[in-house]
Amino acid sequence: MAKAQSRVEKKQPEYGSDVVVDLMKAFDIEYAAFNPGATFRGIHDSIVNYGGNYKPEVIFCHHEEISVAIAHGYAKAKGKPMIAIVHNMVGLQHASMAIFNAYIDRVPVIVLGGTGPMNTKRRRPRIDWIHTALVQGNQVRDYVKWDDQPFTLADVPDSFIRGYRIATTDPMAPIYINYDADIQEDAIAGLADIPDVARYAPPAPMQANPEALRKAAELLGGAKAPLIIADSLGRNPKAVPMLIELAELLGVPVVDKGARFNFPTVNSLDATDGARDLLAKADVIMALDVADIFGSLTTVSKQTRNCEYVTSPAVKIISISMNDMLVHSWANDFQALQAVDHPMCADTSVALPELTRLCRELLGNDAGKKAAIEARRKELGEKNKARRAKWLADAQAGGSRKVITTAWLALEVGEAIKKEEWVLVNGNSNGWARRLWDFTRPNQSLGGSGGAGLGYGPGAAIGASLALKGSGKLSVAIQSDGDMLMTSSALWTAAKHRIPMLMVMHNNQSYYNSEEHGIEVAKFRKRPVENAPIGTHVDDPEIDFAKLAQSFGVSAEGPVRNPADLRPAIERGVKYVKEKQLPYLVDVIAEPR
Ligand SMILES: Cc1ncc(C[n+]2csc(CCOP(=O)(O)OP(=O)(O)O)c2C)c(N)n1
Ligand SMILES: [Mg+2]
């Protein structure tokens, strides 16, 4: 009822927190995810009573890590931020892992918080003291792009508008704004004006230096064995067709590192997962929005951590990214220092068309070059086809096994969803989804957590599914068990808010990454690998994820253990999600890798 009213009524703000809600409305913020807390009770009241629980609508969570992960997944799927609100320093501490993930993933999450009054004379005994910090934002300052604590109500609009702008300016990242309880709860003395927020938009995307672009075009055009590596280019969906155009013009293979969807698997120039040879013989490599160039050129020993270049020392490297525009000192996410011959600081979505134009100009009508490009494209296409055929055969072989392999899991899920307009919102079944499924369009897969902090998956999948709700697209998550165990109450949020999503558990009954490390260390030290499951394996007792989901109100089935039973289970899930527009979980016990 309140919702319908709020859409028509234009209200006059009465309290400071009403202004915060007006700001959210000005930016068309659809959702605010939170677990409640007294330090933002003013904002909470304003959302539900002043704003009518509409723009933003409350997304009710049981852990702040989930609230932020939801906002993280939503922003990737929707291309704009939503809000997570966290209770003073305790909620912020719970949220910090997820804020870190979003920071490393360069995703704009607007995190709001509250604090007991900074005015000590207005504090309640004990709780307002133990829950007040100087300065609260310090706690996450090393992994947000900006944090603020407006001093008066008059500062609130500028602070919010600035925060939104900073978060959504490339390189995007979370910001944190903390609202004093008094500012939220005091009646408004004078009106806090909200200007036309459209006039505070992020700056137009940055173009690359023209000379550097020309050099890059010359290098690429003259290369015998060029290679493109793309990582988060696809955060701008429109950059994907630009990359395809350039790759096709010059016949350059593309490796998609997958922080976002960068290149279709169905394109014959896709060289993802088949690039070792290409890396080794490459004479020119162009890295597009690659955070870790060193890591993309090297292999690392699982046992000794030794890194070795796969590439030739003579390889010339071009890089286009905005990475240098956001470097903090605390987390070393700036990665290993890598020599780059032609570094460019630019937005790939504006640099690529210009680079392609220059390449086309340089190529001209050179029949010899065009023939060489054609021959290369043909060879790469055949190799791509052979790789995909082999992957398919390998995956199909899983059908005659007693246990479900990760390849079989991906194969059967892929078969069950292939007629749908699916989006892979999290997970990849050990890389098999990309090897077997037809990835065709931007944003069809959303990458991972960024920060590799466990607990991301359930919230992020729900956030992305929330963004896709009503779009007709089928949201599919492949969820690992350890990650799920950290934030499983997110399932209640999915049920509560009727968020359609097919969640397939890749339940290997293990924190297998850690188990594998245990095996490697034991091998290296010549100690028994049989002890690797201690502290890593989760099968005694077994966890019943279907029951877990059901207890949170999510329909579920499983555990599926038999390869032949998998497809029907997934098909039931697809049907359920489509018909009911609700979440569904299928628990699948599968091989670890
Ligand atoms: C917050 C946090 N705690 C611990 C780790 C260390 N860690 C990395 S991967 C991993 C295992 C993950 O298990 P699961 O999600 O089931 O995936 P699997 O490796 O089994 O495929 C662990 C414990 C981490 N990355 N983040
Ligand atoms: Mg696991």
pLDDT digits over 464-522, tens only?
Answer: 999 999 999 999 999 999 999 999 999 999 999 999 999 999 999 999 999 999 999 99
Check if 552 has its Cβ closer than 6 Å to any atom of ligand 1.
no
- Which ligand 1 atom sits nearest the alpha carbon of residue 506? 21
Average pLDDT, the chain: 96
**CA atoms lying within 13 Å on the CB side of residue 407:** 15
- Which value, to the nearest 10 degrees, does the dihedral of the CA atoms of residues 148, 150, 155, 160 take? 40
**553 in the Ramachandran plot: left (φ > 0), alpha (ψ -120 to 50) or beta?**
left
Closest C-alpha to ligand 1, atom 25 = 453
- Output the pLDDT for position 3: 44
- Output the pLDDT for position 11: 80
Closest C-alpha to ligand 1, atom 9 = 513
Distance CA 575, CA 486 (A): 28
* Nearest partner of 424 among 435, 510, 252, judged by Cα: 435
* Nearest partner of 108 among 478, 471, 566, 450, judged by Cα: 450
Check if 454 has its Cβ closer than 6 Å to any atom of ligand 1.
yes
Check if 17 has its Cβ closer than 6 Å to any atom of ligand 1.
no
- Output the pLDDT for position 1: 37
Task: For 34-58, write each residue's pLDDT tens digit.
Answer: 999 999 999 999 999 999 999 999 9
Distance CA 570, CA 506 (A): 13
Structure tokens, 322: 């905005």
Check if 514 has its Cβ closer than 6 Å to any atom of ligand 1.
yes
- Output the pLDDT for position 192: 73
Q: Rounded to the nearest whole angstrom, what is the distance from the C-alpha of residue 559 to the centroid of ligand 1?
A: 21
Distance CA 282, CA 134 (A): 53
Q: 214: how many CB neighbours lie within 10 A of its CB?
A: 16
Measured between its terminal Cα atoms, the distance across the chain in Å is: 50
- Which value, to the nearest 10 degrees, does the dihedral of the CA atoms of residues 149, 154, 155, 160 take? 90
Q: Select from 66, 99, 454 the residue to mutate for testing ligand 1; criterion: most ligand atoms less than 8 Å from CB.
A: 454
Q: Rounded to the nearest whole angstrom, what is the distance from the C-alpha of residue 63 to the centroid of ligand 2?
A: 21
Check if 513 has its Cβ closer than 6 Å to any atom of ligand 1.
yes
The pTM of the full predicted model, rounded to 2 decimals, is 0.97
Q: Please answer whether residues 552 and 493 qualify as being in contact, where contact means their C-beta atoms are separated by less than 8 angstroms.
A: no
Q: Rounded to the nearest whole angstrom, what is the distance from the C-alpha of residue 507 to the centroid of ligand 2?
A: 6
Check if 93 has its Cβ closer than 6 Å to any atom of ligand 1.
no
Check if 511 has its Cβ closer than 6 Å to any atom of ligand 1.
yes
- DSSP summary character for residue 187: B
What is the secondary structure of 465-490 as a DSSP string? Answer: HHHHTTTTPEEEEEEEHHHHHHSTTH
Cβ-count burial of 207 within 10 angstroms (0-12 exposed, 13-18 middle, 19+ buried)? middle
Residues within 5 Å of ion ligand 2, judged at the Cβ atom: 480-482, 508, 510, 512
- Output the pLDDT for position 193: 82
Q: Please answer whether residues 202 and 168 qualify as being in contact, where contact means their C-beta atoms are separated by less than 8 angstroms.
A: yes
Helix ranges, 46-119 (H): 64-78, 88-104
Check if 515 has its Cβ closer than 6 Å to any atom of ligand 1.
no
**Low-confidence residues of the chain: pLDDT under 70:** 1-10, 191
Distance CA 110, CA 84 (A): 6
Q: Rounded to the nearest whole angstrom, what is the distance from the C-alpha of residue 455 to the centroid of ligand 1?
A: 9
